[in-house]
Amino acid sequence: MRKVLVIGLILTLCTGMVFAAGGGQQSGGQQGGKRQYVFGYTCMQLSNPFFTYIEQAMRAEIEKNGDRLITVDPAMDVAKQINQIEDLISQKIDVLFLNPVDWEGIRPALLALQRANIPVVNFDAEVKDMDLVTAYAGSDNFNAGKVCGEDMVRRFPNGGPIAVLDSPTMNSVRDRIDGFMAAIQGHNFNIVFQRDALGDLPTSLRHTEDLLQSHPEVLAIMGGNDPTALGALAACKTANRTNIAIYGVDGSPEAKAAMAEGGQFYGSGAQSPKSIGLESLKLGYQILRGESYSKRVPVPTFMINQANVAQYGTSGWQ
């Protein structure tokens, strides 16, 4: 009798182990035998359509692969971005796609990601501590600013007073303005007004209103991105100052539409957010799969102006 009870107990334990091992969804992010990756996405601000388009390009591919993308929006607040990244770490993401609000201030989050052994694909704007990220994909921002400066030199060969609306905490914008400055150097341009426009339209609009009051002689405005340039455009139109040339960087649909009107929005150093998104995502998968990858992936930039805007269209990004 005792032997029968022992055998029965062994069978019961074995049956329980079988159900425990085989019942329900597998742990560790696996569904149907396939490892499901979870990606995190954070950018400067989702109110900028450039970053929304990058996110959408990534999301479409990620979800097509059966994986997940968790997106957060720090809205230009580096402290908020750090807190959101810490929350993504707690959600056990596999890779973070990072565009920093502040290239230097983001360091605490990078250290936290390093401690958690989470790879970081830095995109569009570099962090200061590039040794703390796994890989980078982004536009040639120096060239994006440079082509704007070159176009301005052609249009205004005698130089003159100009304004610059930049965003010093955004490394991408810093590179663009550096490229712009290099192109106009030695061509008699005088920067009479320079302000941090935070990369957004409302701030740029307010600064441009101040500019038009303090320096009515200005002949051109260089914006660090297209929302900044469009804010300047709105202020100029309201003040009926349609003789001021405006430049931006992005090649956004809104900027291209303004160029196509043939008014004062002269050009934009264009980039492709879709290419940035897909190249970043490719890096993410290569890292997770243990494949070889490039530490830096450059995405070309080029000039779109009133002369060639028709070939790119105004209904979407290039």
Q: What is the DSSP string of 223-246?
A: ESSHHHHHHHHHHHHHTT-TTSEE
Hey, which bits of the chain come out as E strands? 30-31, 34-35, 38-42, 68-72, 95-98, 120-123, 135-139, 160-166, 189-196, 220-223, 245-250, 265-270, 296-299, 302-305
Q: 265: which 2 tokens? A: 């929005």
Position 29 confidence tier, pLDDT thresholds 50, 70, 90:
low
Q: Where are the domains of the chain?
A: 31-138+273-299, 141-272+305-311
Segment 171-185 shows an average pLDDT of 96
pLDDT in tens, 113-148: 999 999 999 999 999 999 999 999 999 999 999 999
**Strand (E) or helix (H) holding 177:** helix 171-184
How far apart are alpha carbons 248 and 165 in whole angstroms?
A: 10
Rounded alpha-carbon distances, angstroms, from residue 125 to 45, 137, 139: 13, 9, 8
In order of 51, 248, 298, 318, the CA distances from 314 in angstroms are: 18, 15, 25, 9
Tens digits of residue pLDDT in 92-120: 999 999 999 999 999 999 999 999 999 99
Q: What is the DSSP letter of 186?
A: T
Are domains 31-138+273-299 and 141-272+305-311 of this chain identical in fold? yes
Strand, helix or coil at 24?
A: coil
Phi, psi for residue 95 in degrees, rounded to 5: -145, 145
What number of other Cβ atoms are within 10 A of residue 125's Cβ? 25
d(Cα 249, Cα 225) in Å, to the nearest integer? 4
Residue written as token pair 């965003």 = 167
Q: What is the pLDDT of residue 7?
A: 37
Give the CATH number of domain 31-138+273-299; options: 3.90.550.10, 3.10.310.40, 2.60.120.560, 3.40.50.2300.
3.40.50.2300
Q: Which whole number is the average pLDDT over 281-310?
A: 97
**CATH code for the structural domain at 141-272+305-311:** 3.40.50.2300
Residue 19, pLDDT score: 28
pLDDT above 50 (res 17): no
Nearest to 272 by CA among 224, 230, 316: 316
Secondary structure of residue 185 in the 3-state scheme: coil
The interaxial angle of helices 226-238 and 201-214, nearest 10 deg, is: 50
Which pair of structure tokens corresponds to residue 267?
């050009």
Instruction: Name the DSSP letter for residue 33.
Output: T
pTM exceeds 0.85, yes or no: no
Model confidence pLDDT, tens digit, residues 203-260: 999 999 999 999 999 999 999 999 999 999 999 999 999 999 999 999 999 999 999 9
